[in-house]
Every structure is written in C-alpha cells, then in structure tokens.
C-alpha cells in the first residue's frame, strides 16, 4: 500500500493579509514506517509555526517578520516579511494520532507514521 | 497472477512542471526571477558606520557555513546537505536543493575584518560588519586667513 499526500491549492484569496504568501519548498520522503516531510521555513521560531490537522487536511502556516535594523537603510533586498502557507491531504493509512513535528535550523520536520495495518509485514514461509 | 504495482497514485499539480520549467528557464536566461533563484537569498543594509547582511540559509549546520571578508568583498559560502537520517524508499517531492553555495557582495566601503560578527538563528544568518575607521569620510576644516 502506498501513501498519498496530495497537495491542496490553498485559497490564498481567503487568507490574504498584509503579507505576501509564500509556498515553502518541501521534500517528502516515504519510508517503510511512514512519511517524512521537510519544509524550509527560514526566519521562523517554534511559536510562529502552526501545524493543523482537520479531517485529512494537514495545513502548515507560519508568519515571518523581517524588521529593518534600526538606523540602517536597505541597499539590496531579496526577501522580507512573509506568510508561509501550504496544505496537504493525507491518505487514510496515516496514523493521525502519532504525527510529530520539530523545527531545526529553519526547517520543519514532520513525521507521519503509517497505521500499523498499513505497514508491510513479512510473512514467514515454512518449509514443508 | 501477480500484477506489478504502478506508482501513479501520486496526485500531481498540473502546473507544477510548467512553473518549474519557467523557473529553470529564467534561471538559465537570467530572467526577472533569477535573483530569487540564487542561494542563499541576501539582504544588505547599510549605514554610515557599517553593514548588516542577512541571508536565508535554512537546513544548514552553522559549522558548514563560511563567512570571509577580503577588502570590501564579503563572501558567504558553504554546503547544504541532504538529511541522511531518513531511509527513503520513495521521494514524493524534492524541491529543497542541496549542494555547495557561494555568494559574494561588494560593499560600499572597506570593513574591519576583526570586528565582523555572524549569528545563525532559525535558518537565517545575520552578519554585522563595522566600517573601517580609515574609510569613513573625514571633514576637512577650512582655515580662513
């Protein structure tokens, strides 16, 4: 059985606030026991990240403020304050009660274990 | 009968490939988005007394980042490594690029290399570079006879 984690098109119009919305770069790996997701969220602290699960929709959002250093002038700008937002639909075989999240060096790591009955089982063959 | 399992169950965003193509093309031809495609993204702030340089470097161990100053050129270089702790059977999405990176910025004046401070927090690097005393503008007083 394979795990699906389809991406949802988030309704940006409904979420439009004062900040531009950015879709963060994401890696999704499937392992034998589950799915691991890595998402780049530079400049965001633990308290600023929201991971919500509603039915089968997993939504990750975070607000990144980038205030200008006092008494300095912007000479060159490639990034600023943003709202990160991305959503995925989980398949039924994810054990939703065991999802865990951690944040390190600006990268969010989500571990989505497969439900026990979805994990591959080795069937021993007895020699007759 | 055993039927080999097809791996087509992954839902694909119909515009994903197109967006990627556009991104790759603009990177190749130096289009308007090429500045953002550079890694790491940089912000430069200047004042009369120094420069603050901010870089977005998520997922990099601070030990793998090297900041160097030569004259008025500051270079941020390093390597972003893939997480090797995950025994991945399949990769469903691989958008986070890995490899070595290097970006240099020419500053408007020379900086005091000994006074440079770099801090890595939440995946962003903040470098404070104080201006060299000798490069500061001097006011020359005019004596009247």
Binary contact (B9, A72; C-beta < 8 A):
no
Radius of gyration of chain A (CA): 19
Residue B117: count of CB within 10 angstroms of its CB? 11
Residue B15: count of CB within 10 angstroms of its CB? 10
Confidence of residue B83 (pLDDT cuts 50, 70, 90): confident
* pLDDT tops 60 at residue B143: yes
Span B112-118, average pLDDT: 92
Binary contact (A105, B61; C-beta < 8 A):
yes
Give the model's pLDDT for residue B136.
84
Q: Cα dihedral sign for B37, B86, A90, B7?
A: positive
Span B51-70, average pLDDT: 94
Query: Which residues of chain A make contact with B56, given a CB cutoff of 8 A?
Result: 42-43, 79, 106
* pLDDT tops 80 at residue B39: yes
Taking the Cβ of residue B34 and every Cβ of chain A, the question of whether any pair is shorter than 8 Å is answered with no
Which member of B36, B45, B122 has the closest CB to residue A44?
B122
Burial (CB count within 10 angstroms: exposed 0-12, middle 13-18, buried 19+), residue B125: buried
The residue among B36 and A14 whose pLDDT is bigger is A14
Q: Which residues have C-beta within 8 Å of that of residue A59, sequence separation ≥ 6? A: A10, A50, A51, A52, A53, A85, A86, A87, A88
Give the model's pLDDT for residue B37.
52
Task: Name the minimum distance, in Å, from the CA of B144 to any CA of chain A.
Answer: 35
What is the dihedral angle through the alpha carbons of B64, B68, B73, B76, rounded to the nearest 10 degrees? 10
Best residue of A23, A33, A103, A106 to probe chain B, by most B CBs closer than 10 Å: A106
Confirm if B127 and B118 have CB atoms less than 8 A apart: yes
* pLDDT tops 80 at residue B99: yes
Residue B77: count of CB within 10 angstroms of its CB? 15
Task: Name the minimum distance, in Å, from the CA of A24 to any CA of chain B.
Answer: 9
Give the model's pLDDT for residue B140.
87
Q: How many CB pairs under 8 A join A and B?
A: 126
* pLDDT tops 50 at residue B125: yes
The residue among B28 and A60 whose pLDDT is bigger is A60
Binary contact (B122, A72; C-beta < 8 A):
no
Query: Which residue ranges in chain A fall short of pLDDT 70?
Result: 1-5, 8-17, 118-119
* pLDDT tops 60 at residue B33: no
* pLDDT tops 60 at residue B76: yes
Binary contact (B58, A105; C-beta < 8 A):
yes
CA angle centred on B115, ends B109 and B64, rounded to 5°:
100
Q: Which two tokens stand for residue B119?
A: 């801090």
ipTM, interface predicted TM-score of the complex: 0.76
| Cα–Cα distances in angstroms (integers) from residue B29 to residues A92, B21, B22, B25, in the given order | 43, 12, 10, 6
Which member of A29, A71, A78 has the closest CB to residue B88?
A29
Q: By C-alpha distance, which of A21, A53, A55, A48 is closest to A37?
A: A53
Give the model's pLDDT for residue A126.
82
Which residue in B has a C-alpha nearest to residue A36's C-alpha? B86
Query: Which residues of chain B make contact with A1, given a CB cutoff of 8 A?
Result: none
pTM of the predicted protein model: 0.75
Q: What is the mean pLDDT of chain A?
A: 85
Give the model's pLDDT for residue A8.
67
Specify the range with the lowest mean pLDDT, choosing from A8-17, B71-80, B122-131.
A8-17
DSSP calls for chain B? --PPPP---S---TTHHHHHHHHHHHHHHT-TTHHHHSSSEEEEEE-SSEEEEEEE-TT--GGGEEEEEETTEEEEEEEE---TT---SEEEEE-S--EEEEEEEE-SS-B-GGG-EEEEETTEEEEEEEBPGGGS--PPPPPP-
Distance between CA A114 and CA A59 in Å, rounded? 18
């Amino acid at each position: 059985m394979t795990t699906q984690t389809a991406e949802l098109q988030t309704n940006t119009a409904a979420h439009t606030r004062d900040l531009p919305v950015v879709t963060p770069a994401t890696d999704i790996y499937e392992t034998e026991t589950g799915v691991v997701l890595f998402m780049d969220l530079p400049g965001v602290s633990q308290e600023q990240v929201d991971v919500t699960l509603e039915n089968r929709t997993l939504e990750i959002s975070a607000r990144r403020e980038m205030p200008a250093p006092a008494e300095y002038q912007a000479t060159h700008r490639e990034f600023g304050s943003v709202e990160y937002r991305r959503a995925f639909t989980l398949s039924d075989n994810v054990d939703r009660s065991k999802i865990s999240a951690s944040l390190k060096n600006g990268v969010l790591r989500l571990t989505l274990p497969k439900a026990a009955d979805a994990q591959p089982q080795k069937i021993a063959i007895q020699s007759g | 009968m055993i039927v080999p399992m097809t791996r087509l169950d992954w839902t694909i965003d119909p515009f994903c490939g197109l967006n990627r193509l556009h991104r790759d093309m603009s990177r190749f031809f130096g289009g308007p988005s090429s500045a953002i495609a550079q890694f790491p993204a940089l912000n430069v702030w200047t004042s009369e007394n120094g420069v603050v340089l901010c870089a977005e470097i998520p997922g990099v161990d601070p030990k793998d980042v090297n900041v160097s100053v030569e004259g008025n050129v500051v270079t941020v270089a390093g390597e972003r490594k893939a997480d090797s702790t995950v025994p991945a059977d399949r990769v469903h999405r691989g958008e986070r690029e890995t490899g070595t990176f290097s970006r240099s910025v020419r500053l408007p004046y020379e900086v005091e290399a000994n006074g440079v401070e770099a801090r890595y927090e939440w995946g962003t690097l903040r470098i404070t570079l104080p201006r060299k005393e000798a490069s500061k503008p001097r006011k020359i007083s005019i004596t009247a006879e």
